[in-house]
Amino acid sequence: MLFDYFGGQCPPYAMSDQHPEIDSFEVRVLRQDAPGERSRWERHRVTYERDMNVISALQKIAAQAETVDGQPVAPVCWDSNCLEEVCGACTMLINGRTRQACTALIDRLMEDCPGEIELRPMSKFPVIRDLVVDRTRLFRALTKVKAWVPVDGYLDRGQGPLRSMEEQQQSYPLSECMSCGCCLEACPQYTKIESTQDESESDEDFSARKSATYDSAFVGAHAISQAVLFNTNPIGKFIAGERLDALTGPGGIQMCGNAQNCVAVCPKEIPLTTSIARAGRSTTLHVLKKWFDR
């Protein structure tokens, strides 16, 4: 049929020898209805199809809304958008590993652990519901390190500074950071912060209090790497000192224990430990310089 390809569920191009011989598999999900509620495990059975990933399994779970024992349940909540590992939305713990759900192919998972998949929300961020977590802190860190180029404005000023191919090839990988948070989940120094709004507190006050708490805790590898990216940008480096101040203050780079877990889990293979080492050297010099300038 002409359009089977598009509309139907027919599988695309085969890697024919690599498919497991199963009709269905089980997904164990750690669910939590809301912040502060207790979490519980729930089991779902999903019919196997070729070329599925964890997102398509979750879509099936949402459509059937029934556990393995035939118990009707609300669909599991999760985050996703691009489905091709560029938006950073779908981070979760899959069989215990922090990674993107959209590139977690069922065929590969079945090779590691036949017949069963375990899904948990990230542990370093407050759970909103099920697999959805609040990663505001991750974005807040980008504000803290001023991860932007401080241009004068958006009127025409001709072309930007020339940059060598080599510089581009060093910057480009850092600019691929999609704020997924895998590096933070894996980092022993990055610990969970969960705040609750007081009844008397306005939304604005609550979010200001949260930001202040976040700012005093560890910024994380992704933000250190962004600071390096902008400190090596020809215009970005005009405020390099301000970024280094942020990295030497509370929650700064000194908290990094150099465990290198971050670099091992980054789905974008960003050379985080190289960034951390570079930032470390710059901050040391920066502190010394400030000390001498006193």
Partner 1 sequence: MPKQRVMVIGGGLAGLAATMKLAELGIDVDLISLTPVKRSHSVCAQGGINSVNARTRQLGDSEDLHLDDTVYGGDFLQHQPPVKEMVYWAPKIIDLMDRLGVTFNRTSEGHLDNRRFGGTLFKRTAFAGATTGQQLLYALDEQVRRWEAEGRVKKFESWNYLGPIIDDAGICRGVVAQDLISMEIRTYPADAVIIATGGCGLLYGRSTMSLVCNGGAVSRTFQAGAKYANAEFIQVHPTAIPGADKLRLMSESARGEGGRVWVPRTPHDERSPREIPESERYYFLEERYPEYGNLVPRDIATREIFNVCVHEGLSVDADRQCVYLDLTHIPREELDRKLGGILSIYEKFQGVDPRDEPMKIFPAVHYSMGGLWVDYERTADGGLNIGSPVNQATNIPRLYAIGECDYQYHGANRLGANSLLSCIFSGLMVAPGIETLLESSDDGTAADQPSSLFEGARRQRQQNFDALLKRPGGGENPYLLHQQLGEVMTRTATVVRFNKDLEQAYATVCDLEQRAAKCSLSDTGNWTNQNVVFTAALIDMFPLAKTLLKGALQRDECRGAHYKPDFAMPGLEATDPAERRRQAEAWCDKFEERNAKWLKSTVAVLDEDGEPQLAYEEVDTSLVPPRPRLYGLVGAEAIEEVWKERVAVN
> Which residues of the shown chain bind ligand FES in the complex (CB under 6 A)?
80-83, 85, 87-90, 100, 102
Write down the residue that tokens 């519980």 correspond to. 40
Stretch of 37-45, 161-169, 179-187, 207-215 contacting ligand SF4, by CB under 6 A: 179-187
Nearest alpha-carbon partner for 106 in 26, 49, 52, 28: 52
Using the rule CB under 6 A, which residue among 24, 71, 81, 258 binds ligand SF4? 258
Stretch of 60-68, 70-78, 194-202, 217-225 contacting ligand SF4, by CB under 6 A: 217-225
Task: Return the one option of ligand FES, ligand SF4, partner 1, none that residue 207 interacts with (CB less than 5 to 8 A, by type).
Answer: none
Separation in Å, CA 241 to CA 23, 90, 101, 248: 59, 34, 38, 10
Q: Return the C-alpha torsion angle 264, 267, 271, 273, nearest 10.
A: -40
Which segments of the chain does DSSP mark as H helices, in order? 4-7, 54-64, 106-112, 136-144, 165-175, 182-186, 203-216, 221-231, 240-248, 261-265, 272-292
Size of the site for ligand SF4 (CB under 6 A): 27
- Asked whether position 10 contacts partner 1 by CB under 8 A, the answer is yes
Query: What is the rounded CA–CA span in Å between residue 38 and residue 32?
Result: 6
- Asked whether position 23 contacts partner 1 by CB under 8 A, the answer is no
Cβ proximity to ligand FES, 180 vs 253, nearer residue: 180
Binding to partner 1 (CB under 8 A): which residues in 139-168? 139, 142-143, 146-151, 153-154, 156-160, 162-165, 167-168
Q: What end-to-end distance do the CA atoms of the chain give, in Å?
A: 78
- Asked whether position 177 contacts ligand SF4 by CB under 6 A, the answer is yes
- Asked whether position 52 contacts partner 1 by CB under 8 A, the answer is yes
